[in-house]
Structure 1
Amino acid sequence: MTTTTTQAEPERHAKRAVLKGLEERCPNCGEGKLFSKYLKVNDQCPECGEELHHHRADDGPAYLTILIVGHIMGFVLHATFGYLREDPLILALLLCTVATALSLLMLPRIKGMIVGYQWAKEMYGFGRPRG
């Protein structure tokens, strides 16, 4: 009779994985880069070899980015409208610039957070191999 021994896998902490994703790092080791391009997630971590191709971020990061940037832009509009009321073109250019910059800065970080959360909760194939 053969007995198989299974090693206890360390618990995946969602908070740590989400924070590592925010830093655009591998949710497993925190060292390897999560993205190979602006939003292209590496198939596996270059440092620890953790498979990352399982993620299913899809449109979630874009929706969350729009939600957050939209709320921030409401405050920016409220704060700047009184000063730039006489120059609507300057106001529009300022708002467009701020919204574009915020969106470009936030989108990969939010995607990293979502990938980190999916990894921590073992969603969509991020689970440990069975057998």
Structure 2
Amino acid sequence: MTYPDIGSPEDGDWDERPLKPALRRGWRRRCPNCGNGPLFAGYLKVADHCPVCEEPFHFQRADDGPAYLTILIVGHAMVPLIMLFYEVLHLDPLIMASALTVICVALSLYLLPRIKGAFVALQWSRRMHGFGGPDDRAER
């Protein structure tokens, strides 16, 4: 199978995109190709392209994956904190609920753009360009 913009794996035109450096760069919210340019144009909006190396990102879609993974991680991190607050510290329920709410929101806001950056970097590394219908196929 030959792709017009990247060649084919059989021809040797397929440039290598190592996964681990791309994931590290995506976690840092940087371009998975060069590691210098910003990956996002806002808090969660993926930029159209990297301003440093001009790598296009307009076709990358992470959809709900980062949100699901963020909820999974934050939920599992909150269980030991709930047990600690309830069993060991014996906090007042209102104080416990307030503290846990602040921790949950802060952790979610910290993790969500980083996990989305890693998702986009994974897609970039594995050449997973979009998941839509006929419009995505025409861009390839």
Q: Report the TM-score when normalising by structure 2.
A: 0.81
Q: Which residue of 1 aligns with 2:101?
A: 96
Seen in structure 2, the aligned counterparts of structure 1 residues 53 and 80 have a Cα distance that, compared at 3 Å, is same
Cα distance in 1 between the residues matched to 2:98 and 2:88: 14
Does 2:61 align with 1:62? no
Q: Which residue of 2 aligns with 1:114?
A: 119
What is the 5 A alignment of 1:4-43?
A: 8-43=13-48
Cα distance in 2 between the residues matched to 1:102 and 1:86: 21
Runs of 4+ in 1 over 2 A off after TM superposition: 6-10, 82-86
Cα distance in 1 between the residues matched to 2:37 and 2:91: 50
What letter is aligned with 2:42?
K
Q: 2:85–2:91: 8 Å Cα contact kept in structure 1?
A: no
Q: Equivalent residue of 1:62, what SS?
A: helix
What letter is aligned with 2:119?
I
The CA RMSD measured in Å over matched residues stands at 1.9
Seen in structure 2, the aligned counterparts of structure 1 residues 112 and 86 have a Cα distance that, compared at 3 Å, is closer
Q: Report the TM-score when normalising by structure 1.
A: 0.86
Cα distance in 1 between the residues matched to 2:15 and 2:38: 22
Q: 1:21–1:112: 8 Å Cα contact kept in structure 2?
A: yes
* Superposed displacement of residue 10, structure 1: 3.4
Gaps of 5+ in 1: 1-5
Q: Percent identity?
A: 52
Q: 1:24–1:109: 8 Å Cα contact kept in structure 2?
A: yes
What letter is aligned with 1:46?
P
Gaps of 5+ in 2: 1-10, 131-138
What is the 5 A alignment of 1:65-76?
A: 65-76=70-81
What letter is aligned with 2:19?
A
Q: 1:84–1:90: 8 Å Cα contact kept in structure 2?
A: no
Seen in structure 2, the aligned counterparts of structure 1 residues 34 and 86 have a Cα distance that, compared at 3 Å, is closer
Q: Which residue of 2 aligns with 1:47?
A: 52
Aligned positions, number: 122
Q: Deviations over 1:24-47 (max 9, x none)?
A: 000000000001110011000011
